[in-house]
Amino acid sequence: MTAALVDQPVEPVSTAGGMLRRLNLVTAIAGGLILGLAGWLISHSLLQDDDLGSDQVVLVTLSCWAAGFMIGIGALNGPIGWALGRDLRHEDELFLAGKDQGVARYFRFTTDHKVVGIQYLVVTMVLFAFGGTLAMLIRTNLISPHSHFLNPQTYNAIVGLHGLIMIIATIIMVTGPFGNFIMPIMIGARDMAFPRLNALSLWLIVAAIPTILSAAVLGGIPTGWVGYAPLADQAPPGMDAYSVFIIIFAVSSAVAGANITTTVLTMRARGMSWNRTPIFVYGTVASVGLAIPAFPLFMASQVLLQVDRTQGGQFFVASGGGSPWLYSNLFWLMGHPEVYVILIPALAALMELTPVFSRRPLFSFNAAVISIAGIVGLSIMVWAHHMYASGWAPDLNGPFMLTTEMISVPTGLLFLVILGTVWRGRIWTTVPMMATYAMLWNFIIGGITGIYLSDVPADYALHGSMFVTAHFHYTLMGAGLTGAIGALAYWFPKMTGRMLNERAGYISFWFVQIGFNVTFLGMFAVGLAGQPRRVVTYAQLFAAGNFVSTIGAYSIGIGMLVLLYAVINSWLHGQVAPANPWGAKTLEWTVPNPIPLENFEVLPVVTSDAYGYGEEDEPASGIDPEREPVLAGASADLGPRPVGASNVEGGP
Ligand code: HEM
Ligand SMILES: [Cu+2]
């Protein structure tokens, strides 16, 4: 979206332009079903005698579904127009940006980064709801060794699906909603560098979700979320759904990554040099920067798996000259960097909000940047710590142990940055700030148990146990998801124009955090005692620990439901938020509510960093909507705000 949009006289946007302008989620689903059915009919009639037929038919059908969905949502409108030599007119751009379309723009291929951000938020919440429900089923089954709540095949399939859905949800939970909605305004831009690619990355994920859900009726994913070969070669057609899902997701994240990186490199406001660029921006770029090389590896592993499954290839089959270790290496070369794709933006969001509520500058901005760079650099050198016990390369266990333990150095530095910011601060305790405290507590436990697991001898004893499961829940959920919830509470006023219900926010916080620690400390205990993961039942010895864990999980469930209620209720009826309720200094808080379509009337000029807190005399606590902080460095018009409207110009 270029500045030119602002200067041109704005005509009401017509929906003229024929059928292509009427495409939306309904036409997308119709397109997907029609093309999917066509694909099934053709491939079924052509391949039904082939013994690999069923996998090939599933692969064709699901791919056709995705293609039909994308055509139906209008993702090809741009390329078709270009191929027909019809460039986008100003009016087309305004239409694509969703101008004057009200709620309907959220169900369309809309390019405005704020709309894409909200769409990502909703998709992430739907994925968490689904992954969380599966978690409740898992824990209910594990409440006692004799529950028989789920049969072994179903339990296996649910564990794999839970893990995969949760991993995908946590990957997009920060860079999706906040990287899209907030980050462009934070750097002083009118939109992302490639607005249509932005919408494409979102709708690819929406198209992919039904493919992974179909695995549930195609025999499930018996391999766990990792999709390990050679079991994956022999697994039911649910494995084909897994591959299609991963391949589409990998394309989506590559597109999103290229867009975010280009936006930050080329569209920062005048004067926003690197040492004036907010730390959240570094976290977002680091995350997508890791995803860009990592996910194509995951994609490659699935392409090879599909060659094995549908073309009789032997890439991962030892008896055919292939090697299952090839799969494990490809998977973990993605899998370990991917945990930092999840963690870094969540921690960066907390580093962004902690100075606001401590009224202190970020403690050593340079150390924060160095710690992020250090984690990124080391995270691509440790993948084989997941394979110590696999027999792949025992001689390399030592070096991988060393590189893995080295990650605790930049991570520790990151801790110091946050602790140093809070230290001697004038703390304003709010729901966002509580997330910082919870992250510090959970990540210490997750980090230290990670060091245990990085030690080869200890890992030989703990590999495959519930101790490992508890460890990565402490890091990905205890630190990652907690950070994302903190980011949501912090930027909620800017994204919705309403304040998040503080009381419900606190109630949710305590149910989730107490439940979380009960659940996974219990799982550390049974894991240390030897309970294996991915097994539908267990010995009586582990009964007490599992019972306690399940009760803890129910507390998490209650807390998350309270959060969901708080989000929906506040979005609809919450206290109207002033433009800058927290007295924060980054640029997104300089734009009025509702946010103009192009964000800024006049592009801001930045003359200092955004962490000059504590320099002026500020109220110690409570929202002061009438007080608008004087911004150090950025200049922008803070125009009056009409009461009751939602937060993006153009109505709810
Ligand atoms: C309500 C919160 C959650 C609960 C109670 C929960 C519970 C569990 C349990 C009990 C298992 C182990 C099952 C087994 O091995 O037999 C598991 C596996 C897993 N969970 Fe969660 N989980 C929760 C949230 C999350 C989140 C937020 C993530 C985000 C990354 C996540 C990722 C995973 C993964 C990757 C696995 C491994 C799946 C596999 O072995 O294939 N979980 N979860
Ligand atoms: Cu790892």
pLDDT digit string (tens) for 540-563? Answer: 999 999 999 999 999 999 999 999
Confidence grade of residue 373 (pLDDT, cut at 50, 70, 90) = very high
CA 167 to ligand 1: nearest atom: 30
**Using 50, 70 and 90 to split pLDDT, how confident is the model at 303?**
very high
Q: What is the pLDDT of residue 18?
A: 66
Q: Does residue 204 share a domain with residue 120?
A: yes
Atom 41 of ligand 1, residue of closest alpha carbon: 224
Residue-wise pLDDT tens digits, 387-419: 999 999 999 999 999 999 999 999 999 999 999
Residues 73 and 125 in one domain: no
pLDDT digits (tens, 9 = 90+) for 323-347: 999 999 999 999 999 999 999 999 9
Neighbour-count burial of 274, counting CB atoms closer than 10 A to its CB (0-12 exposed, 13-18 middle, 19+ buried): exposed
pLDDT at residue 485 in the model: 98
Q: What is the CATH number of the domain that holds 388?
A: 1.20.210.10
Q: Indicate the pLDDT class of residue 627, thresholds 50, 70 and 90.
A: very low
Instruction: Give the rounded percent of residues in the chain with a pLDDT score beyond 70.
Output: 90
Which residue has the CA at smallest separation from atom 4 of ligand 1? 135
User: What's the confidence (pLDDT) of residue 51?
Assistant: 59
Query: Which of 557, 573, 589 lies at the terminal end of a domain, its last residue?
Result: 573
Q: Both 25 and 141 in a single domain?
A: no
Name the residue with the closest Cα to ligand 1, atom 34. 163
Please indicate, yes or no, if residue 104 is contained in any of the structural domains: no
Shared domain check, 476 and 344: yes
Calpha distance 289→278 (Å, rounded)? 17
- Inform me whether the pLDDT recorded for 638 exceeds 70: no
State the average pLDDT for the chain: 91
Q: Residue 307: is its pLDDT beyond 50?
A: yes
Residues with CB under 5 Å of ion ligand 2 are 336
Out of 573, 599, 619, a domain closes at 573
What ligand has the least distance to the C-alpha of 133?
1
Note whether residue 599 is domain-resident.
no
Q: How far is the CA of 156 from the centre of ligand 1 (A)?
A: 12
Q: Does one domain contain both 48 and 129? A: no
Alpha helices by DSSP H, 214-323: 231-234, 238-266, 279-311
Q: CB neighbours of 92 closer than 8 A, spacing ≥ 6?
A: 17, 81
List, for residues 416-471, the tens digit of each pLDDT value: 999 999 998 999 999 999 999 999 999 999 999 999 999 999 999 999 999 999 99
> Ligand 1 centre from 153 Cα, in Å?
17
**CA 386 / ligand 2 centre spacing (Å):** 6
In sequence order, the 6+-apart residues with CB closer than 8 A to the CB of 482 are 346, 435, 438, 439, 442, 512, 513
Q: Do 283 and 196 reside in the same domain of the chain?
A: yes
> How many domains does the chain divide into?
2
Question: Residues 99-153: pLDDT tens digits?
Answer: 988 999 999 999 999 999 999 999 999 999 999 999 999 999 999 998 899 999 9
CA distance 183 to 192: 9
Which ligand 1 atom is the nearest neighbour of the CA of 164? 35
**Could you say which ligand is closest to the alpha carbon of residue 386?**
2
The CA 641 to ligand 1 mean position distance, Å, reads 44
Among the bound ligands, the one closest to the CA of 158: 1
> Would you say residue 632 has pLDDT above 50?
no
The mean pLDDT of 224-239, rounded to a whole number, is 94
For residue 161, report the distance from its CA to the centre of ligand 1, in Å.
10
Rounded to the nearest angstrom, the distance between the alpha carbon of 400 and the centre of ligand 2 is 10
Question: Pick from 34, 61, 82: which residue ends a domain?
Answer: 82
Position 590 in a domain = no
For the CA of 479, the nearest ligand: 1
Same-domain check for residues 413 and 300: yes
Give the ligand at the shortest distance from the Cα of 472: 1
Whether residues 56 and 141 share a domain: the answer is no
| pLDDT tens by residue, 557-605 | 999 999 999 999 999 999 999 999 999 999 999 999 999 999 999 999 9
Nearest CA to ligand 1 atom 36: 163
* pLDDT tier at 34, thresholds 50, 70, 90: very high
The mean per-residue pLDDT over the stretch 210-235 comes to: 94
Mean local confidence (pLDDT), 12-32: 77
The tokens describing 633, both together, are 């460095």
Q: Is 93 domain-assigned? A: no
Does residue 7 carry a pLDDT above 50? no
Coil/strand/helix, residue 116: helix
Q: Which of 134, 168, 465, 469 to mutate to test the pocket of ligand 1 (most atoms within 8 A of CB)?
A: 469
> What's residue 49's pLDDT?
58
Q: Which pair of tokens denotes residue 412?
A: 């520790």
Given a cut of 80, whether residue 629 has pLDDT beyond it is: no
473 Cα: distance to centroid of ligand 1 (angstroms): 7
Q: How far is the CA of 505 from the centre of ligand 2 (A)?
A: 32
Q: Whose CA is nearest to atom 40 of ligand 1?
A: 224
| CA-closest residue to ligand 1 atom 39 | 224
Cα(491) to centroid(ligand 1), Å: 27
Give the percent of the chain with pLDDT over 90.
83
Same domain, residue pair 140 and 204:
yes
For residues 274 and 393, state if they share a domain.
yes
Q: Predicted confidence band at 378 (pLDDT cuts at 50, 70, 90)?
A: very high
Which residue among 138, 165, 549 has the greatest number of ligand 1 atoms within 8 angstroms of its CB, and so is best to mutate? 138
10: in domain? no
**Residue 635 confidence (pLDDT) above 60:** no
Whole-angstrom distance, CA of residue 201 vs CA of residue 76: 13
Q: State the closest ligand 1 atom to the C-alpha of 533, by its place in the atom list counted from 1.
A: 15
- Does 255 share its domain with 362? yes
Determine which residue's CA is closest to atom 14 belonging to ligand 1.
Answer: 534
Contacts of 497 (CB under 8 A, 6+ apart): 576, 577, 593, 594, 645, 646, 647
Tell me the CA–centroid distance for residue 135 and ligand 1, in Å. 6
* Ligand 1 centroid from CA 162, angstroms: 6
Q: Which structural domain, as residue segments, surrounds residue 405?
A: 114-573
Mean pLDDT in residue range 144-167: 95
- Which residue reads 């990287």 in tokens? 179
Q: Residue 155 falls within a domain, yes or no?
A: yes
In a domain, residue 34? The reply is yes
Residue 617 falls within a domain, yes or no?
A: no
Residue 355 sits in the same domain as residue 213: yes
Write out residues with Cβ below 6 Å of ligand 1: 132, 135, 138-139, 159-160, 162-163, 166-167, 170, 224-225, 469, 473, 476-477, 481, 519, 533-534, 553, 556
Segment (H or E) for 325: helix 324-358
Alpha carbons 532 and 158: distance in angstroms, whole number: 16
What is the mean predicted confidence (pLDDT) over 356-365? Answer: 95
Residue 644 pLDDT > 50: no
Query: Average pLDDT for residues 217-229, to the nearest whole number?
Result: 93
Contact yes or no for 134/195 (Cβ under 8 A): no
Q: What is the pLDDT of residues 43-57, one digit of tens each?
A: 988 876 555 568 999
- In this predicted model, which residue has the larger pLDDT, 637 or 69? 69
